[in-house]
Structure 1
Amino acid sequence: MTHLPPPPQHVAPFVRVLGTEGAVEFLLAFGGGEIYLAAMPKGRSRLVELVGAEKAAALAEAVGQMKLRVPTAKPWIARCLRAQGLAVAEIARRLHSTDVSVRRWLKEGGRPIVADPRQMRLL
């Protein structure tokens, strides 16, 4: 199995419930938009079609039963897709981004673009 990058903190609840590959699918389908997470989801929602009723309910419990804006997490998704062996051009198409952006995200690897040597590390 390929080594997948750890999720950023704002994506971690989705990964805990759906797994990395499920979270990537979820973020690609719903990222950037608002979604209502019901404690008892109905079978006719797009979310239930994608992840199933049990995982939809678990997701509502993990992130809170509410309406929320789903993060896009494109840099993290790009690294996950690259770890699965996808080419930069294919990743760019899936994320509706440029190949330049994808290469930058892959190069950064989750680090800030400009690191000031005077800034203390938070870890």
Structure 2
Amino acid sequence: MSRYFTEDHEWVDVDGDVGTVGISTYAQEQLGDIVFVDVPEAGKKLAKGDEAAVVESVKAASDVYSPVSGSVIEGNAELGDNPGLVNEDPETEGWFFKLTLSDPEELKGLMDEAAYAAFVAKL
């Protein structure tokens, strides 16, 4: 499985043609305690950069953008009852949605973990 990051602090784990999307630990730390998450419904078509989900914290509300184009196959229903999963484990259990990638070439425009770590270090 390969993981990629955006400059907006989303990550996508790619396994075959399925991507699992969430926000980075850095993004979660900037938001603070997350109190609400709205994830996309299965079947929703997303283009790279589309608003895909909403996350609200005690500090702010933010949009989560799709790092790649595709069709949503599952939203993380667990976040509806337990948005705190994003606080506890933003880069595994706190994932937002899974989608089938429609254009795997888009991954070339994203950062790998080392490049993202260097990007965050400059912020």
TM-score > 0.5 by shorter chain: no
Q: Which has the higher contact order (CA 8 A, sep 6+)?
A: 2
Q: Larger Rg: 1 or 2?
A: 1
TM, length-normalised to structure 1: 0.29
What's the TM-score once normalised by structure 2's chain length? Answer: 0.29
